[in-house]
Chains A and B, each alone.
Chain A
């Protein structure tokens, strides 16, 4: 998730990371992590605090005023076997959503021209 501010709305944070702000803490699926410092008095998510609690790496390019928040660390690349509903464009920019292939087996192959 790319950020230009380290305070974002809970909706933006959930959109970028999948972690939702709930009364019991920051939650994703069945998992909830208590994170009282992650939500500021005016209801914004403090990205620095949330990143710390959720073990998400935060890197900042001060010169350009831009930050990136990475994926959860400490486990495996997959936290569950449920395939993420990835949406990507074709070479002409037309979007395609993986869930359109529900009901079929999918062999997803990553390649590159390099």
Chain B
């Protein structure tokens, strides 16, 4: 998907850079091999983009112009409507049906967002989607002390995960989630370690585990349901 967009816009002066927020690059590799990207395809195993750019979920994107100035801050970024959205759910077991029902409520701006990227590629700073520095800063994610502390707790957990092990990391990841529940990159990443056997592809259902005591579904509902999930692009 991103590779196609890159190929389409490369000659116009736009480069796509994808960054996988994965502890284990091997989990990213399968997807990367399949996409066969000709653009830079990077791995951020420490989730540094959360702290540096205000990434709080995936997929999210940031636009950077030729001079290295951010012209759109981190926001939800999809360019193709997922087939999941129109899938009939009646035949699924209750738990999967619940998850997919909320997932189908997540606002979809794929067509408008893709059109906005094309407009920016063609018109640069003249594009109405290219924002001034003041607006970029003002629209970037808020960072009260709790969110900054969540970033520190997640970093400490990730450090302990690699140096000591999962049990040392979990209390810190749990704290990161409690301090900043809207940052899904903390919990969704840590969850995978709970329900996925070592060496297997990630279990994506994210049901109740020992670490958090709640499932993805319960957390989404607690935060207002799929309709308020993520950072909607203001186009």
Interface string of A44-61 (1 = CB under 8 A from B): 000000000001111101
* A80, B133: Cβ atoms closer than 8 Å: yes
**B215 → chain A closest CB, angstroms:** 14
**A64 → chain B closest CB, angstroms:** 6
Interface string of A72-114 (1 = CB under 8 A from B): 1111111111111110111101001011011111111111111
Residue in A76, A86, A114 whose beta carbon sits within 8 Å of that of B137 in the complex: A76
Residue in B32, B61, B159, B204 whose beta carbon sits within 8 Å of that of A66 in the complex: B159
* B61, A70: Cβ atoms closer than 8 Å: no
In the assembled complex, A69 has its CB within 8 A of some CB on chain B? yes
| Minimum CB distance partner of A81 in chain B | B133
Distance of A96 Cα from B201 Cα, bound (Å): 26
Chain B residues bordering chain A, tally (CB within 8 A): 87
* B164, A59: Cβ atoms closer than 8 Å: no
In the assembled complex, B143 has its CB within 8 A of some CB on chain A? yes
| Minimum CB distance partner of B130 in chain A | A105
* A81, B40: Cβ atoms closer than 8 Å: no
The A-contacting residues of B in range 152-166, CB under 8 angstroms, are: 152-153, 155-156, 159-160, 163-164
A–B Cβ pairs within 8 angstroms, 9 of them:
A66-B163, A77-B53, A84-B53, A88-B42, A104-B66, A106-B16, A107-B5, A110-B60, A110-B74
What 10 A-B pairs come out closest when comparing CB atoms?
A: A77-B54, A70-B152, A81-B133, A73-B148, A68-B156, A57-B149, A78-B140, A88-B42, A73-B145, A77-B141
Q: 19 more A-B contacts (CB under 8 A) besides A105-B120, A113-B28?
A: A64-B164, A66-B156, A71-B152, A74-B143, A76-B142, A77-B142, A82-B69, A83-B70, A91-B20, A91-B28, A93-B25, A106-B14, A109-B19, A109-B59, A110-B61, A110-B74, A111-B20, A111-B58, A113-B30
